[in-house]
Structure 1
Amino acid sequence: MSTNSLRRSEYLRSLWPWLPLWTVVALLAIFSHGPMPLYSTRTLAVAWEMWREHHFLVPYINGEPYSEKVPLLYWLIHAGWYVFGVSDIWPRVLEVIFGGVQLVLLSVLARRLFPMRPWVAKAAPWMLLALSYAFLFGLQIMYEVLLADCVLGALLCLTPKANRAEPRWLLFGLLIGAGLLTKGPVMLLHIAFPWLLGPFWNDWAREHRTRWYGRGVLAVLLGLAILLAWAIPAGFSGGDAYRHRLFFTQTAARVVDGVQHDEPLQNHAHPFWWYVPYLLVLAFPFSGWPRAWVALGTLRKPFDTGLRFALCWLVPVFVLFSVISGKQLYYLLPEYGGGMLLLAGAMAVMRERRVPLAENYWLGSWPLGMGGILFAICLFAMPNLVAHHYLHGEWFEGAAPYSRTFSVAFLLLGCLLLLRGRGEMRRVAVAGLLGVLALNTLFTLTLWHKYDLSPTTALIASAQSGKRAIGIDGSYEGQYHFAGRLSEAIIELHDGKALQDFARSHPDGLIITHPDTLDAAAQRYALMAQPFRSAWVVVWSAPTLADLRAGRTPMEPAQPPQIFPGAKVQYGAQP
């Protein structure tokens, strides 16, 4: 067998068992319920409208050009639909593929950056797959996991191989372009600092600064050229308003709060310190593992290449994203791999230099184990607490029939984390992964009905197929379009006059509202109502709602409203 074949065989063996384990768990979790409103349903709505209208250059949502996102993810969804047919199965499988690629890229990156510490390459993917928030958000049909793949791939191009020290500049530029087509200019923020600070961690960059920065600039220009090759024709095709939003306001509004724009944009403005309190959540379960804190706290110079790389990446990116006005927890998802790279590297150093700390049981995973056991006890006691009215609320009442079954799972996971000996990191990772799968399953059994918009979607799709106009009180996020395979826009009604005009123009039309509570009028006059999150979705006959809003008494409906969950409606059923 050749040397290359041996290396490939060795690398494939290194993927076992974390990649198959993560793939199985991710598939179970992502198919345990339907696409989540509003993240996944919005993405699917845009992909569906592009597909239905053959608008493959400009993304559309609800009949209007959609400037918030660039098209690569939609194109990948379309490629699968072309082969397998239109459904929500391929987009979800695609997200699982993205997640698996992310783990593999992190493993390769760790192997390159820590050649003298092979434990890091083994540990880093285990750690990344265990992150609870990253796993749950990775179940959404969104852009960040694909962006993380582009970021990790681009940074991998900068790292030296055993037989080549110079970066792969052409591939670096192509992956920058792919990232720009995934999430826009923010791609540059994720990869800029490891490149700009290259001489601090890369020997070749330190010795060839001119070539490092010169060819790096050319690679960035190549990536920008790829983006502009789409953006310029898309801007002219989408019209003046779309072009202005695409090139100016939609990016500026995220960076600086208060940018003026004609239409609402997804700004998500938060203060400078907003990310800091969430770091413990983002790092869970490792934030509850004392050995992880000790490993980071005892790091001392000199740092090796991998640690310098991770610090040059994570610290300035975190500061920059804190300065930027727009903030969401998932904006930092491409850096989660870097965080686990830093943690794995720190633990590898501790295993070599501070053996007593690396083996001390009291720095082990027992706090997580005790937390799992306490949670199991709470779940076991929940039916009695609910029955005696010590616990109130829909979640507790919905979870009580299942809680004792799940208490066994968390008891076993807690006991696993109390074990001593080798393999502690893997035990934390496995417990974290299986624990979040259990919570996702419990959510599906108890709360998914408050997110499943199938009843409303079926009614809207049936009405639209009968050529009846649909309006919505307020803004529309595309949550009904894909599941209902809608072919017409839902009209947004932002004030009372617009609602009255809609009712006069469409006497057989329907209007969707989102009240916080289901009042007596809705229970008497509405066509249908269902819970959604902590509020309700109510569908009305347009004249009926117009009469109520005008203070008039509407005609009595021919039949009482359907109020869900009163009958079980299968997810994805088409009218």
Structure 2
Amino acid sequence: MLSSKRANPALWGLSLAVVLLASLFGRPDIPIDETRYLSVAWEAWQGGDWLIMHMNGQPYHHKPPLLFWLIGLGWSVFGVNDWWPRSISALASLACVLLTAQIAARLWPDRHKVPAAAGWLLLTGIYWLLFSTSVMFDVLLTAFTLLALRGVLDVWRRGGWRGWLWCGVGLGLGVLTKGPFVLLFVLPVAVAGPWWGGERASGKAWWRGLLAAGALGAAIALLWVIPAAIFGGEEFRNAILWGQVAGRVSGELAHRQPIWFYFAAGLVLVFPLVLSRQAWRAAIGQGRQRADSGTRFLACWSVPAFIALSLAGGKQFHYVLPLWPAVALLLAAGWEQGAARRGGLWLLPVVVAGLGGALLAFPLWAGKHWFAAYAGPSWSIGGGLLIVLALVLAVVSRLRRDVLPATLALFAMAVTSVLLLLVVRPFSPAFDMTPLAAKLSQLEKQGVELVHVSAYNDQYRFYGRLERPLSQISRDELAVWFAGHPESRAIVYLKDPADLAKLDADFSRPYLSGGVALIGARSAGQWSALRK
């Protein structure tokens, strides 16, 4: 079943389905990103405006609309629910696995074990698996990046225009997913075709095809951009045409990080393979094949994008997710050549077993931390299971070295599921927006005016199915607000969850490392005193 010679689409899909179920049962949607994107989709669903997205009643220009469209499409089929939005990333992840295997088959057509290994190695990344079950844009962007790159390879191998058609579709849908980010990963590969592809990737036909693919991608994106720019107003138009890109490149919008940030991100992206000497051998062995077209193709895909992302001011770990398939392909090619077949695994099982031991012994070290209140018996069970998984990996890695990529992938998915269901799930009360959102919905139906104190990211709109935006004020404006709106209720936050008991609140609960409460005018003074 775990064949090293052929792809396993059914098993890949089943494995991702298991991780998706673990995510759905193991955690709520995480604020502020996932909760915000769901609320943006809900506002479009509620208001019927799928051209200009809105957040808390205001035009939302931070992301293009494709993910929101896909959420709405699923809701129109299955009804409004919590599981479909996360399923989009899971389906995109499966598409990425299949496309990665197809790219491997085109790069190394005579090396029949590489596609299956590449597919499995893509699923070894725990960071990748977590984003494969999230309401985020990056795995979907990666799928369209891979579609465009596969189109480039189709032209190189087979000629004709069909490959450029798929390249253009991938570029256009990638722009509609996360703006021009897709160009960072595709354009250098296509432009450097003569270097990695030789005569078949050069000449007038190649450049005409590339221009045609770019024109098709631009046309697909402009089908939304032009009407959105016309009807969205000047601020919205400036943001989608220039402001968002310039702000993220400069870091003025958010997430400004030092230039070395993505070197640390690389370790996160490649975990747990970073702890495998077999993986290092495979990467180094294939990396030395400098004349190999596949190695050069991967270099054009990853190196320029990594440099550009590092030079940009705004940085997030998940921005480099579209580079993970390139890493998986490099490792798969090196693995197939035998560079990684010697010896079993020892460091990775030791580290995972150590994590399991720490979970077993959590009463000895967790007591002084804010998350101690959420730790419990499930942590001990999860720790024991991690130790068992580590022992199984150590044994299997020595007995079945021929299927080590598949073994590592199944191990990573098992570890991810254990962490979600037994370690992360107890934290759910600190992240779940539903209880407070239900209270807000009840008050909204009663006609009570609601206000959010401090920056609001629309984290309650979807979960309470709220119909109206929330007013928003600063912390210092609360007394003035209640003077003019004495019957209203305010959503406030506290840094210490223990302070919730000192507040005469209509509703309160833990929130992240602190707490959130719904208060009336009588409690405004109490809250002001507690936050000092």
- TM-score, length-scaled by structure 2: 0.91
Per the alignment, residue 325 of structure 2 pairs with 337
TM-fit CA distance, 1:205: 4.4
The CA deviation at 1:163 is: 7.1
Query: Which secondary structure state, in structure 2, belongs to the residue aligned with residue 530 of structure 1?
Result: strand
User: Is 1:368 equivalent to 2:356 in the alignment?
Assistant: no
CA drift of 1:439 comes to 0.7
Cα distance in 1 between the residues matched to 2:241 and 2:101: 36
Counterpart pick for 1:270 among 257, 270, 284: 257
Shift, 1:510, TM fit: 1.2
Whether the 8 Å contact between 1:474 and 1:493 is mirrored in structure 2 is yes
1:203 aligns to 2:185 (yes or no): no
The match for 2:491 among 494, 509, 512 is 512
1:190 to 181, 185, 191: 185
By how many angstroms is 1:119 displaced?
Answer: 1.6
Instruction: Give the match for residue 467 of structure 2.
Output: 487
Among 423, 429, 433, the alignment partner of 1:453 is 433
Cα RMSD after superposing both structures: 2.4
**1: CA distance, partners of 2:497 / 2:204:** 67
**Partners of 1:238 and 1:504 in 2: how far apart?**
36
Deviates more, 1:100-109 or 1:57-66: 100-109
| Alpha carbons 1:72, 1:182 under 8 Å: kept | yes
Q: Give aligned-pair identity as a percent.
A: 31
Displacement of 1:133 in angstroms is 0.8
Q: Indicate the SS of the match to 1:86.
A: coil
Which sections of structure 1, spanning at least 5 residues, go unmatched? 1-9, 259-264, 552-575
The answer to whether the 8 Å contact 1:133/1:282 transfers is yes
Matched, 1:281 2:276: no
Q: Assess if the C-alpha contact under 8 Å between 2:16 and 2:90 holds in 1.
A: no
Larger radius of gyration: 1
Given that 1:159 and 1:202 are in contact with CA atoms closer than 8 Å, whether structure 2 keeps it comes out as no
What residue in structure 2 maps to residue 262 of structure 1? none
- Give the aligned partner of residue 417 of structure 1: 393
1:327 is aligned to 315
Q: In structure 1, what residue type is equivalent to 2:165?
A: L
Deviates more, 1:217-226 or 1:336-345: 217-226
Residue of structure 2 in register with 1:544 after alignment? 522
Q: Provide closer, same or farther for how the CA distance between residues 255 and 205 of structure 1 changes in structure 2, counting only shifts above 3 A.
A: farther
Per the alignment, do residues 225 and 139 of structure 1 end up closer, same or farther by CA in structure 2, a change over 3 Å counting?
same
Any residues of structure 2 matched to 1:31-180 within 5 Å, and which? 31-160=25-154, 164-166=158-160, 168-180=163-175
| Contact residue 5 and residue 116 of structure 2 kept, 8 A | no
SS across alignment from 2:457: coil
**1:194·1:313 contact (CA, 8 Å) conserved in 2?**
yes
Distance (whole Å) between structure 1 residues aligned to residue 25 and residue 379 of structure 2: 21
Change (3 A) 1:270 1:145: same
Give me the whole-angstrom Cα distance separating, in 2, the residues matched to 1:137 and 1:294: 27
Match of 1:563 in 2: none
- 1:430 paired residue number: 410
1:58–1:238: 8 Å Cα contact kept in structure 2?
yes
Question: Which of the numbers 299, 303, 312 marks the counterpart of 1:311?
Answer: 299
Query: In the alignment, residue 517 of structure 1 is paired with which amino acid?
Result: D
CA distance in 1, matches of 2:97, 2:278: 23
| Alignment TM-score, normalising by the size of structure 1 | 0.85
- Decide whether the 8 Å contact of 2:105 with 2:112 is kept in 1: yes
For the pair 1:404 / 2:380, whether they are aligned, the reply is yes
Residue 284 of structure 2 is aligned to residue 297 of structure 1: yes
The alignment status of 1:502 with 2:478, answered yes or no, reads no
Closer, same or farther: CA 112–66 of 1 in aligned 2, 3 Å: same
Q: State the alpha-carbon separation in 2 of the partners of residues 521 and 152 from structure 1.
A: 49
| Separation (CA, whole Å) in 2 of partners of 1:533 and 1:84 | 31
Deviations for 1:60-85, whole angstroms, at most 9, x for unmatched residues? 11000000011111111111111221
Residues 421-462 of structure 1 show CA distances to partners (whole Å, capped at 9, x for unaligned) of 322232222211111111111234321111112221121111
Q: Conserved in 2, the CA contact under 8 Å of 1:19 and 1:103?
A: no
Decide whether the 8 Å contact of 2:22 with 2:420 is kept in 1: no
Once the two structures are overlaid, the 10-residue window that deviates more, 367-376 or 113-122, is 367-376
Find the aligned partners of 1:326 and 1:35 in 2 and give their Cα distance.
24
> SS of the counterpart of 1:17?
helix
C-alpha contact 1:27 1:96 (8 A) present in aligned 2: no
Name the aligned partner's letter for residue 514 of structure 1.
Answer: Y
> Secondary structure of the equivalent of 1:525?
coil
Could you tell me whether the CA contact under 8 Å between 2:7 and 2:115 is conserved in 1?
no
Aligned partners of 2:56, 2:517: CA distance in 1, in Å? 20
Give the drift of 1:98: 1.4
AA at the equivalent of 2:198? D
Alpha-carbon spacing, 1:11–1:283, altered in 2? closer, same or farther (3 Å): closer
- 1:570 corresponds in structure 2 to none
Partner residue in 2 for 1:567: none
Is the CA contact 1:372–1:414 (under 8 Å) kept in the aligned structure 2?
yes
1:176, 1:169 → 2: CA distance? 10
Q: Which residue is 2:22 aligned to? A: 28
Structure number with greater CO (CA < 8 Å, separation at least 6) is 2
Report SS of the residue matched to 2:169: helix
Going from structure 1 to structure 2, the CA distance change for 1:380 and 1:524 (only over 3 Å counts) comes to closer
* SS state at 1:118 partner: coil
CA distance in 1, matches of 2:247, 2:429: 35
Q: Go from structure 1 to structure 2 and tell me whether the alpha carbon gap of 1:520 and 1:316 turns closer, same or farther (over 3 Å shift).
A: closer
Amino acid at match of 1:539: L
Partner amino acid, structure 1, of 2:207: Y
DSSP-derived class of the 1:539 partner: strand
Q: Secondary structure at the match of 1:481?
A: coil
CA offset digits 1:74-104 (Å, max 9, x no partner): 1111111112211122222222211211111
- Native 8 Å contact 2:27 2:420 kept in 1: no
